[in-house]
């Protein structure tokens, strides 16, 4: 499979506004091998049970699935120990490496370095350098505000203390943005890709647009006043299902280097 075919398959995962994924394929559930066909044609002898986004399931030939969803098939083959099979040998590693390169290049190209004429840092070190050069505390203030808001979600261990054995290490970092009024925004995010939580807990439930429209119609018909509010950082009060920890960075000041458990 050529690189441009992989790129096209990845591109089909993005909607018209280049935001998020709009995959028809939900997940690959299982695989079947017809050994008589494998001897004659190693690709034709494989089929996969897949679940689509609408909840339906079907069995699809490997050849068709590799053309439409090469990265997903390669990931499944790797995770299922099929890399050494003739149908996947060499193809899996090539596809995953090529897919990673394509995605990283697209992300690098799409990453904004400026917004509203304001330079956006890509690290805490760069944020501090921007403040120093401008003689302001815009970015450092945003970092301090974020840490104040989320500190209730962390338990900082004592100096030299190790994380419990059942806890898994993850990396955390800041991402930065500028709001329309020029306010600097800093978000501390976790490397969720480093853990393997159940698929049922990897998606945040979001109210449907239709529900909002129905409520507004009801309010209009009954002459009701509509009010809305934002619960700041409500998510940090939910107990995590994963047992994870990270090492405090420079943004934690005197606590740098300490082990921090996400509680």
Give domain 3-110's CATH number out of 2.40.128.630, 2.40.50.40, 3.30.70.20, 3.90.1150.10.
Answer: 2.40.50.40
Give 214-222's long-range contacts (Cβ < 8 A, gap of 24+).
none
∠ CA(35), CA(38), CA(42), 5° rounding? Answer: 150
**Distance from CA of residue 250 to its chain's centroid?**
24
**Distance from CA of residue 235 to its chain's centroid?**
16
pLDDT at 110: 58
pTM above 0.75, yes or no: no
- pLDDT level of residue 127 (50, 70, 90 thresholds): very high
CA atoms of 160 and 137, how far apart (whole Å): 32
For the chain, what is the total number of helices (H) and then of strands (E)? 8, 11
**Is a pLDDT exceeding 50 seen at residue 248?**
yes
Specify which residues 167 forms β-bridges with: none
Percent of the chain with pLDDT over 90: 19
**Is a pLDDT exceeding 90 seen at residue 239?**
no
Measured N-to-C along each axis, helices 70-79 and 91-110 cross at an angle, to the nearest 10 degrees, of: 130
> How many Cβ atoms from other residues are within 10 Å of residue 118's Cβ?
14
- Can you give the residue ranges of every domain in the chain? 3-110, 114-196+230-262
CA atoms of 6 and 99, how far apart (whole Å): 7
């Amino acid at each position: 499979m050529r690189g441009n075919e992989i790129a096209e398959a990845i591109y089909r995962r993005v909607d018209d506004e280049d935001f998020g994924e709009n995959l028809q394929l939900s997940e690959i559930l299982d695989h079947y091998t017809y050994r008589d066909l494998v001897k004659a044609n190693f690709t034709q002898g494989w089929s996969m049970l897949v679940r689509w986004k609408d909840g339906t399931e079907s069995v699809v030939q490997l050849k068709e699935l590799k053309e439409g969803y090469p990265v997903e098939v390669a990931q499944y083959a790797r995770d299922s120990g099929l890399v050494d099979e003739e149908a996947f040998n060499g193809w899996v590693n090539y596809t995953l490496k090529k897919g990673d390169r394509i995605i990283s290049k697209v992300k690098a190209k799409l990453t904004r370095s400026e917004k509203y004429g304001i330079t956006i840092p890509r690290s805490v070190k760069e944020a501090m350098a921007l403040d120093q050069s401008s003689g302001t505390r815009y970015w450092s203030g945003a970092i301090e505000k974020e840490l104040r808001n989320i500190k209730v979600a962390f338990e900082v261990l004592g100096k030299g203390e190790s994380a419990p054995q059942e806890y898994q290490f993850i990396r955390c970092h800041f991402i930065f943005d500028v709001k329309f009024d020029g306010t600097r925004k800093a978000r501390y995010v976790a490397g969720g890709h480093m853990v393997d939580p159940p698929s049922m807990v990897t998606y945040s439930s979001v109210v449907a647009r239709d529900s909002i429209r129905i409520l507004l119609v009801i309010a209009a018909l009954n002459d009701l006043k509509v009010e809305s509010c934002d619960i700041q950082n409500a998510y940090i009060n939910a107990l995590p299902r994963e047992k994870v920890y990270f090492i405090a960075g420079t943004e934690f000041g005197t606590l740098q280097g300490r082990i921090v458990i996400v509680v």
